[in-house]
Amino acid sequence: MAGTVSSTKTPPWSLCTEPAVFHDKRTGRHLCRDHFISDVESRVAETIRGRRLIVPGDHVVIALSGGKDSTALLMILARLLPALEGVTLSAFTIDEGIHGYREDTIRSADELVKKYRLTHTMISFPDLFGGTLDVFLEGREPEACSICGILRRKALNVGAERAGATKLATGHNLDDEAQSVFMNVLRGDLPRLLRDSGSDSQGRFIPRIKPLMFISEKEIAVYLMLHGAWADLPECPYAVHALRGEVRRMLAVLESKHPGTMLHLMESRAQIEAHCDGSLVAEPMRHCAECGDPCSGEICQLCNLKKTL
């Protein structure tokens, strides 16, 4: 894997004399197994502390897909949260009904929660919406990510509420966040660029937190490998239709040539936010005329979508 090394000699800028397993191109550091794991976990802990993502008494529920990001998130939080007084951890998994894909990831999620002895709740699209994603997307495959996104947002809220959560933790990593910043810049969508699903909840829904937002996809993969938890799982078959895929490939090339690109995108977003009027991202509080859920228009996206399914 690019970015990793295996050496019996002590490379420059290493922290110890143990063999290095990871080369951080941005900082130039070479990290052994123990220092790498400690570095990742300490950075996640700092993100949680610095942004007050989790506080004593919280019930954190993880949106566990069974993929690498949410798997790493569960493993890390299971190690960090016992240090916080009164914090409980559980997980729930959404079964969208994607044939040939979700079966493996759901099995992986189920095995993981059993290993850590966590409460695990399952929610399915058929139960919530009356059909699988595969059925809804027949003849509409190019719209896959938009349709799935609307349905998943509702499923995430329902799952967190059923679990009695005070915080909903998702496995979004640095790559995901940088891609979102870049996509919103390409769209010229300043309000969406600055919107934060956690701090902007205003009591309308359970706040979502992203403890892995400064950990790269590559670091997550290495973390799992070092714990023997890497699983070669399939990718969502609908991902080929997403703009995000193009942006992902573009940023991967830029990050390889110019280490730190993704982090700089995140820093740019923070600087823009610091200089913008809060009214740019504030939406008037409304309730959907059909289902009563909070929304920015007269009818929420989900109710509009249901009319076409």
Q: Which CATH number goes with the domain that contains 149?
A: 3.40.50.620
Domain-located, residue 26: no
Domain-located, residue 10: no
Domain-located, residue 72: yes
The residues near 218 (Cβ < 8 Å, ≥ 6 apart) are 1, 2, 3
Kind and range of the H or E run holding 140: none
* Count of structural domains within the chain: 2
Q: For the whole model, what pTM was predicted?
A: 0.88
The Cα–Cα gap between 92 and 265 comes to 31
300 and 221: one domain? no
Residue 17 confidence (pLDDT): 87
Domain hosting residue 299, numbered range: 285-309
270 and 290: one domain? no
309 and 184: one domain? no
Name the nearest CA neighbour of 78 among 233, 229, 234: 229
208 neighbors 198 (Cβ within 8 angstroms): yes
186 and 299: one domain? no
97 neighbors 237 (Cβ within 8 angstroms): no
Kind and range of the H or E run holding 178: helix 174-187
pLDDT one digit per residue (tens) for the chain, 309 residues = 444 444 446 666 777 889 999 999 999 999 999 999 999 999 999 999 999 999 999 999 999 999 999 999 999 999 999 988 899 999 999 999 999 899 999 999 999 999 999 999 999 999 999 999 999 999 999 999 999 999 999 999 999 999 999 999 999 999 999 999 998 888 887 777 777 555 444 556 799 999 999 999 999 999 999 999 988 888 888 887 777 888 999 999 999 999 999 999 999 988 888 887 655 555 566 789 998 888 878 899 999 999 998
